[in-house]
C-alpha cells in the first residue's frame, strides 16, 4: 500500500473514488452545478475540493478556449488522477482556507460536497468569496440532512447497532450541514448575507445492497475499524428496508438528496 498524502489518501483510494463513487454518485451532479452557476464561454472558473476532477473536466467544455477551469484540492492523490483524466485543466494543491489566488481572480467559484469536511467552513467560504470577481457566482453543494436521506439514515443506524456510536457518528458526518438553516447560517457567518438555498433530488446507484454497504464503509473513515463480519451484519439489518429501491437484477437506486447554496458577488 502506498504512503497516504496530506489528506490521508493513497493513490489506490483516489483511483477507487474515480472508479466507484464518480459513476455511482458524483457524476450526475456536474450538470446541476454548472447550471446553478450559469457557467458560460469565457468564464474563469475555480472548482474547490475538485477531487479527481469530475466537475473540472466538464467545466473545460463549457468555458471554451477563452475561459479557464482550475481544480483545487488538498489531496495530491486525487489531483494525480484528475490530471490524468483532464490534461486541459489546471490543478493546484493546497488548503481551501488559504487559497493561493489573488483577489477577484474568478468569474465562478464552485465546490461540490466538500464544505462539510472542512474544519473551518466559514473561513473556506470567505476565501472563495475573496477570489470572486464582482457579479461572480459562488455555488456550493452539500448533502441534505439524514431526515431527507432516509436510506443513509438507516445505514447510520445499522452502523450504530453493529459498530457503536463513534462509527455511526462518523458515517453521519457528511449529512450534518444539510440540517435546516445550517448552510445559510454558515454563509452569513462568512460575511455572505444574500444566499439562495435550493433543494435537489439525486440518486446513488450500486450493483447490490452488499456493494452499497461495503463501498460506503470501506471507502470512508471506517475502513480500518469495521471488519467483513460487521459489514455482513449491517447488510442483514438493512436488507428488509431496501426492496423499494432494489431492481430485479439486484441493482439498488437510492435517493441521495442535496442542497445548493448560491450567492452573487457585488
DSSP string over 34-88: HHHTT--TT-EEEEET-TTTHHHHHHHHHH-TTSEEEEEES-HHHHHHHHHH-TT
CA distance 251 to 182: 34
Q: Tell me what percent of the residues of the chain surpass a pLDDT of 90.
A: 74
Superfamily classification of domain 11-264: Vaccinia Virus protein VP39 (3.40.50.150)
CA distance 84 to 17: 14
CB-count burial class (<10 Å; 0-12, 13-18, 19+) for 86: buried
- Please, what is the angle between helix 76-85 and helix 54-63, to 10°? 40
Averaged confidence pLDDT in the chain: 92
What would the grid cell of residue 199 be? 433543494
Q: Are 59 and 47 in contact (CB under 8 A)?
A: yes
How far is residue 192 from each of residues 55, 59, 80, 87, measured CA to CA in Å? 24, 25, 33, 34
Task: Say which range, 36-50, 119-133, 140-154, 242-256, has the weakest mean pLDDT.
Answer: 242-256
Split at pLDDT 50, 70, 90, the class of 220 is low
pLDDT reading at 1 higher than 60: no
Task: Please compute the mean of the pLDDT values over residues 126-152 and round it to a whole number.
Answer: 97
Opening angle at CA 170, ends 169 and 176, nearest 5 = 70
Domain ranges of the chain: 11-264
Strands 203-206 and 106-112: unpaired
pLDDT reading at 159 higher than 70: yes
Amino acid at each position: 500500500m502506498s504512503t497516504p498524502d496530506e489528506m490521508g489518501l493513497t493513490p489506490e483510494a483516489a483511483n477507487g473514488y474515480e472508479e466507484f463513487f464518480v459513476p455511482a454518485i458524483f457524476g450526475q451532479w456536474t450538470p446541476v452545478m454548472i447550471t446553478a452557476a450559469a457557467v458560460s464561454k469565457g468564464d474563469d472558473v475555480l472548482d474547490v475540493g475538485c477531487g479527481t476532477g469530475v466537475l473540472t473536466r466538464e467545466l473545460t467544455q463549457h468555458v471554451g478556449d477563452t475561459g479557464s477551469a482550475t481544480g483545487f484540492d488538498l489531496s495530491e492523490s486525487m489531483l494525480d488522477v484528475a490530471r490524468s483524466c483532464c490534461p486541459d485543466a489546471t490543478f493546484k494543491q493546497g488548503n481551501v482556507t488559504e487559497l493561493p489566488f489573488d483577489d477577484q481572480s474568478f468569474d465562478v467559484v464552485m465546490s461540490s460536497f466538500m464544505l462539510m469536511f472542512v474544519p473551518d467552513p466559514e473561513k473556506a467560504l470567505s476565501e472563495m468569496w475573496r477570489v470572486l470577481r464582482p457579479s461572480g457566482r459562488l455555488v456550493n453543494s452539500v448533502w441534505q440532512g439524514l431526515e431527507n436521506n432516509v436510506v443513509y439514515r438507516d445505514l447510520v443506524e445499522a452502523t450504530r447497532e453493529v459498530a457503536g456510536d463513534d462509527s455511526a457518528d462518523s458515517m453521519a458526518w457528511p449529512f450534518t450541514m444539510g440540517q435546516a438553516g445550517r448552510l445559510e447560517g454558515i454563509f452569513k457567518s462568512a460575511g455572505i448575507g444574500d444566499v439562495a438555498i435550493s433543494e435537489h433530488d439525486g440518486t446513488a446507484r450500486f450493483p447490490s445492497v452488499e456493494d452499497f454497504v461495503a463501498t460506503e464503509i470501506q471507502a470512508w473513515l471506517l475502513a480500518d475499524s469495521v471488519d467483513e463480519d460487521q459489514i455482513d451484519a449491517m447488510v442483514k439489518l438493512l436488507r428488509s428496508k431496501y426492496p423499494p429501491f432494489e431492481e430485479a437484477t439486484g441493482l439498488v437506486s437510492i435517493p441521495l438528496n442535496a442542497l445548493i447554496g448560491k450567492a452573487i458577488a457585488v
